[in-house]
Chain A
Amino acid sequence: MAFEYAPAPESRSIVDIKPSYGLFIDGEFVDGHGSAFKSINPATEETLAEIAEADAADVDKAVKAARRAFRTWSRMPGKERSKYLYRIARIIQERSRELAVLESIDNGKPIKESRDVDVPIVAAHFFYYAGWADKLEYAGLGANPQPLGVAGQVIPWNFPLLMLAWKVAPALACGNTVVLKPAETTPLTALLFAEICQQADLPAGVVNIVTGAGDTGQAVVSHPDVDKVAFTGSTGVGKAIARAIAGSDKKATLELGGKAANIVFDDAAIDQAVEGIVGGIFFNQGHVCCAGSRLLVQESVADEVMAKLKRRMGTLRVGDPLDKNTDIGAINSAEQLARIRALAEIGEDEGAERWAPPCELPSAGFWFPPTVFTGVSQAHRIARDEVFGPVLSVLTFRTPSEAIEKANNTPYGLSAGVWTEKGSRILHMANELRAGVVWANTFNKFDPASPFGGYKESGYGREGGRQGLSAYLKAGA
Chain B
Amino acid sequence: MPPTVSTDQGSSPGLAAYADVTASETSLRRFLHGLPGVDQVGAEARAAQLGTRSIKTTAKAHALDLAITMVDLTTLEGQDTPGKVRALANKALRPDPADPTCPSVAAVCVYGDMVADVKAVVGDNVNVAAVATAFPSGRASMEIKLADTRDAVAAGADEIDMVIDRGAFLAGHYLQVFEEIVAVREACQRADGTHAHLKVIMETGELQTYDNVRRASWLSMLAGGDFIKTSTGKVQPAATLPVTLVMLEAVRDFREATGVQIGVKPAGGIRTSKDAIKYLVMVNEVAGPDWLTPDWFRFGASTLLNELLMQRTKLTTGRYSGPDYFTLD
Contacts and interface: CB of A to CB of B under 8 A. Distances in A.
A196 interface: no
Nearest to B289: A2
A275 B45 CA distance: 10
Interface stretch (B34-42, B158-166, B268-276): B34-42
A445 B45 CA distance: 12
Contacts of B60: 6
Contacts of B36: 268-271
Contacts of B39: 269, 272, 421, 441
B292 A275 contact: no
Given A271-B249, A442-B41, A442-B42, A3 B52 contact: no
A143 to B, nearest CB: 40
Q: Please give me the 8 A-B residue pairs with the lowest Cβ-Cβ distance, nearest first.
A: A272-B42, A8-B54, A324-B54, A269-B39, A272-B39, A6-B59, A270-B36, A6-B57
Contact of B292 (A3, A272, A442): A3
Nearest to A276: B42
Interface residues on B, range: 20 to 34
Contacts of A270: 36
B19 interface: no
A65 B186 CA distance: 85
Interface string B267-295: 00000000000001100110001001000
A8 B36 CA distance: 36
Given A269-B36, A272-B46, A6 B41 contact: no
Contacts of A272: 38-39, 42-43, 46
B53 A3 contact: no
Nearest to B57: A6
Contacts of B63: 3
29 contacts: A1-B62, A3-B59, A3-B62, A3-B280, A3-B289, A4-B59, A5-B53, A5-B54, A6-B55, A6-B56, A6-B57, A7-B56, A116-B52, A267-B37, A268-B37, A269-B42, A271-B36, A271-B43, A272-B38, A272-B39, A272-B43, A275-B46, A324-B52, A324-B54, A325-B53, A421-B37, A421-B39, A441-B41, A442-B41
Given A269-B36, A269-B38, A270-B36, 9 more contacts: A3-B63, A3-B281, A3-B289, A116-B52, A271-B43, A271-B46, A324-B53, A421-B39, A441-B41
Contacts of A35: none
B317 interface: no
Contacts of A275: 42, 45-46
Nearest to B285: A315
Interface in A4-42: 4-8
A115 to B, nearest CB: 9
B141 interface: no
Interface of B: 36-39, 41-43, 45-46, 52-60, 62-63, 66, 249, 280-281, 284-285, 289, 292
A302 to B, nearest CB: 14
Nearest to A268: B36
Contact of A271 (B38, B41, B53, B57): B38
Contact of B55 (A1, A5, A271): A5
A418 to B, nearest CB: 12
A5 B284 CA distance: 11
B55 A8 contact: yes
A442 B37 CA distance: 15
A441 B42 contact: yes
Interface residues on A, range: 20 to 34
B296 to A, nearest CB: 13
B54 A3 contact: no
A112 interface: yes
B29 to A, nearest CB: 17
A275 B281 CA distance: 16
A6 B52 contact: no
Given A3-B59, A276-B42, A442-B42, A269 B37 contact: yes
Nearest to B52: A112
A268 B37 CA distance: 7
Interface in A158-195: none
A116 B48 CA distance: 12
A2 B66 CA distance: 11
Nearest to B50: A315
A112 B36 CA distance: 30
Contacts of A5: 53-55, 59
B299 to A, nearest CB: 15
Of listed A2, A271, A421, residue having the most chain B CB within 10 A? A271
Nearest to A441: B39
A449 to B, nearest CB: 18
A464 B65 CA distance: 49
Interface in A244-275: 267-272, 275
A271 B36 CA distance: 8
B48 to A, nearest CB: 10
A8 B39 CA distance: 31
Interface string A351-374: 000000000000000000000000
Contacts of B53: 5, 324-325
A6 B59 CA distance: 5
Contacts of A267: 37
Of listed A3, A7, A276, residue having the most chain B CB within 10 A? A3
Contacts of A269: 36-39, 42
Contacts of A324: 52-54
Interface string A305-320: 0000000000100000
Contacts of A112: 52
Contacts of A268: 36-37
Interface string A323-354: 01100000000000000000000000000000
Contacts of B249: 271
Nearest to B250: A271
Contacts of A4: 58-59, 62
Interface string A271-310: 1100110000000000000000000000000000000000
A6 B281 CA distance: 13
A6 B292 contact: no
A7 B56 CA distance: 7
B197 to A, nearest CB: 22
A325 B285 contact: no
A75 to B, nearest CB: 45
A270 B55 CA distance: 29
B321 to A, nearest CB: 23
Nearest to A4: B59
Contact of A8 (B45, B56, B285): B56
Of listed A1, A5, A325, residue having the most chain B CB within 10 A? A5
Contacts of A116: 52
A275 B50 CA distance: 12
B237 to A, nearest CB: 20
